[in-house]
Amino acid sequence: MKLLILPGDGIGPEITDVTRRSLTALDARFGLGFDFVERDIGLASLEKTGRVMPDDVLAEIAEADATMLGPVDSFVYPPEAECGASPSKAVRTTYDLFANIRPSRSRPGVPSMAKDMDLVVVRENTEGFYADRNMFMGNAEIMPTPEVALSIRKITVAGSRRIAKVAFDTARTRRKKVTVVHKANVLKVTDGLFLEHVRDVGKDYPDVEIEEVIIDAMAALLIRRPESFDVVLTTNMYGDILSDEAAELSGGLGFGASINASDTHAVAQAAHGSAPDIAGQDLANPIAHVLSSQMLLAWVAGRGGDNQLANAAAHLEKAVDKVISTPETQTKDIGGPLGTRAFGDAIITAIEE
């Protein structure tokens, strides 16, 4: 099983190293036959090739059984015309990774603002206001004059229906409730179209409860009663914001696991950024990336009916939970004593036990 690891920028090499070592220990325990391949992207690739996502690396994702993408610092990249599309954009658009799945839950022993939360944000990943990826040609932000800036939001029937199906299918494996987040009271055309087709898809899931909440109310309710939500279905920008909020409620963005998926491909990528201010200081929390990779293994196992891989993925999450439940083995960002590498060592020990 080929696992492609793309470390990325900032803290990326440190946290992907923990993921790789954890998966190596998991492979040794379960006999999964992992074959690790690592390629440069981002600033490391830019220095060598002039591109932040080389074409050959992008193509290799199709050949890999699983791809783990590290955080990237697209803010400091040269213009796209000079260095190519950012790795995040290139991967999501090339492989049509339309579903961004971000779970957040309270974990025993982890200091958090939400004491009883277990939800999944299912976010549409290719449309909405994201101007760098929602057009076939050109950019969806324009300036007709130096004093006027415009942004085009794209919502389609096909995009709305396919992400709705992911949300309802996910809910069927959980507590059978979908909360649809929108602003159709103001954005009557775009959010109205999204809401209309989510409701229509929901008719095929009579066993799943549907709740509709306006985005500003949802931002407040997520703080007031996070335990009441199961699967949260949103368009692109709302989902990006709400999933970060949910991660903070669970203990911080260091717990923000995430995968980007289509019907045929998926890529693990933690929800947080590259944190260049702490890069190389052994301070980064690798949990989000490790758990993103765990989610990806579970996704691959589910598609192929691989029970051994599914069991291994479940074991990895249990190992992480065991380590973070004890103050003595927690990461520094939540008050523990362990740096990035030492925390990785603790996960490996838990995997082997």
CB 9 within 8 A of CB 284: no
| Confidence tier at 269 by pLDDT (50, 70, 90) | very high
Q: pLDDT tens for residues 12-33?
A: 999 999 999 999 999 999 999 9
CA 258 to chain CA mean position, Å? 2
Q: Of these residues, 17, 27, 191, 240, which one is catalytic? A: 240
CA 268 to chain CA mean position, Å? 6
Give 339's contacts (C-beta < 8 A, 6+ positions apart): 282, 283, 331, 332
Six-digit token string for 186: 């103001």
40 is catalytic: no
205 is catalytic: no
**Residue written as token pair 């998991």:** 26
pTM (global) more than 0.85: yes
Backbone φ, ψ for residue 342 (5° rounding):
-65, -35
User: Is the confidence at residue 134, as pLDDT, over 90?
Assistant: no
For position 138, what pLDDT does the model report? Answer: 79
244 is catalytic: yes
Q: Which domains does the chain have, with CATH numbers?
A: 1-97+259-353 (3.40.718.10), 113-250 (3.40.718.10)
**What is the share, in percent, of the chain residues with pLDDT greater than 90?**
93
What DSSP element (H or E) covers 260? strand 259-261
CB 42 within 8 A of CB 9: yes
> Position 165: which residue type?
K
User: Is the confidence at residue 267, as pLDDT, over 90?
Assistant: yes
Average pLDDT value for the chain: 95
Q: Of these residues, 244, 306, 333, 345, which one is catalytic? A: 244
Q: Of these residues, 35, 169, 204, 216, which one is catalytic? A: 216
Q: Of these residues, 165, 183, 322, 332, which one is catalytic? A: 183
What count of residues does the chain have? 353
240 is catalytic: yes
User: Is the confidence at residue 131, as pLDDT, over 80?
Assistant: no
Q: pLDDT tens for residues 286-311?
A: 999 999 999 999 999 999 999 999 99
d(CA 271, CA 247): 9
d(CA 338, CA 336): 6
Q: pLDDT tens for residues 58-99?
A: 999 999 999 999 999 999 999 999 999 999 999 999 999 999
User: Is the confidence at residue 278, as pLDDT, over 90?
Assistant: yes
| Confidence tier at 133 by pLDDT (50, 70, 90) | confident
Six-digit token string for 241: 């914001």
